[in-house]
Amino acid sequence: MEKLSDNPEKDSFLSNLFFDKEQRVRALWRILFFTATYALLIILLAGITFLIPGNSPSTDFRILLFVNGVLSTVSAVFAGWITGKLCEGLPFNALGINFNKSTFTSLSAGLLYGILAYIAAALIAVAFGNLEFTSDAGTRAGSILQSWAFSAMLLSAPAAFEEVLFRGYILQTFVRNQRSVFGVIFSSVLFAAVHSFNPNVSQIALANTFLAGVWFATAYLVTKNLWLPFGIHLAWNWTQIAVFGSEISGFSRLVPISLFNENDGGPDWLTGGNYGIEGGLACTIVISIAIAINVALVYRKGKSPQ
């Protein structure tokens, strides 16, 4: 059998296949390693949860949503950290989730951004469609506040998971390789693909989910940390169900009480119908504007994507 070292051309081919000019493992292999590590961790952690007393298929969906979000976040963070450390020699804070002086500013800006964006989309649907919001005068303020706190906790886990998974190591790998535009598109396609299994999904909903991925990804490019996109993501979802009482990505009534009650008379192509406002053109308009704002901010800071 011929030795690898006896064939320089083959040796060179294999080296170029797995390593770049700086002798780092190529991005594709790093992402595959990250994905495999994440998958193994989530399978392991998910298996452990089945051993917890009281856990069964009849467990409240909201509890499963939160627990899955927490476990998935832990798995994605660890997979991103270990892949970055082994393949690129990166520290933990390269993931963009460390706490520093800009954390509060980025998170606060993201929360405000997400709330205002959802309100804008709702106003478009109300103005040009048959979407209405009514309030229940008999609902106590204390009950509303409890529901708001519960929904914020519930939604924080899946939002954190999706940001760390899609805008974490996967996107950041392409950004470090000066392939930001490709990374934004690639991670957003994956983001939309995951949501393609949601109830009541439509072609407009999938297109909007892709655009939402671009929105969150460009938000990462603005600050180079995940706190801004996480804040946007969480605030959008929270405003949707806790304030306006709408469906969220095909799921309904995740919280028992909201400030308003939604009455969606369509048309579905504008208001989103049973998928929530992400399934309509009102959302398309707002997210497209938000993406343009993010891109302008990136260029203004001299961080033009490659």
What is the C-alpha to C-alpha distance for residues 62 and 241, in angstroms, rounded to an integer? 13
Residue 260 has pLDDT above 90, yes or no: no
Residue 178 has pLDDT above 80, yes or no: yes
Closest-CA residue to 219 (of 284, 294, 167)? 294
What is the C-alpha to C-alpha distance for residues 304 and 306, in angstroms, rounded to an integer? 6
What is the C-alpha to C-alpha distance for residues 225 and 202, in angstroms, rounded to an integer? 31
| Domain definitions of the chain by residue range | 92-300
Q: Provide the whole-model pTM.
A: 0.88
The whole-number pLDDT of residue 257 equals 85
Residue 140 has pLDDT above 90, yes or no: no
pLDDT range class, residue 100, cuts 50, 70, 90: confident
* Per-residue three-class SS string for the chain: CCCHHHCHHHHHHHHHHHECCCCCECHHHHHHHHHHHHHHHHHHHHHHHCCCCCCCCCCCHHHHHHHHHHHHHHHHHHHHHHHHHHHHCCCHHHHCCCCCCCHHHHHHHHHHHHHHHHHHHHHHHHHHCCEEEEECCCCCHHHHHHHHHHHHHHHHHHHHHHHHHHHHHHHHHHHHCCCHHHHHHHHHHHHHHHHCCCCCCCHHHHHHHHHHHHHHHHHHHHHCCCHHHHHHHHHHHHHHHHHCCCCECCECCCCCCCCEEEEECCCHHHHCHHHCHHHCHHHHHHHHHHHHHHHHHHHHCCCCCC
CB atoms within 10 A of CB 164: 25
Residue 10 has pLDDT above 90, yes or no: no
109 vs 250 pLDDT, higher one: 109
pLDDT range class, residue 223, cuts 50, 70, 90: very high
The whole-number pLDDT of residue 4 equals 47
Residue 154 has pLDDT above 60, yes or no: yes
What is the C-alpha to C-alpha distance for residues 306 and 289, in angstroms, rounded to an integer? 21
**Contact criterion met (CB below 8 Å) for 96 and 224:** yes
pLDDT range class, residue 205, cuts 50, 70, 90: very high
The whole-number pLDDT of residue 2 equals 43
pLDDT range class, residue 16, cuts 50, 70, 90: low
Q: Which two tokens stand for residue 122?
A: 């709702």
The whole-number pLDDT of residue 98 equals 87
The whole-number pLDDT of residue 157 equals 94
**Beta partners for 131?**
264
The whole-number pLDDT of residue 1 equals 39
The amino acid at residue 178 is: Q
Residue 297 has pLDDT above 60, yes or no: yes
What is the C-alpha to C-alpha distance for residues 156 and 193, in angstroms, rounded to an integer? 21
The whole-number pLDDT of residue 11 equals 53
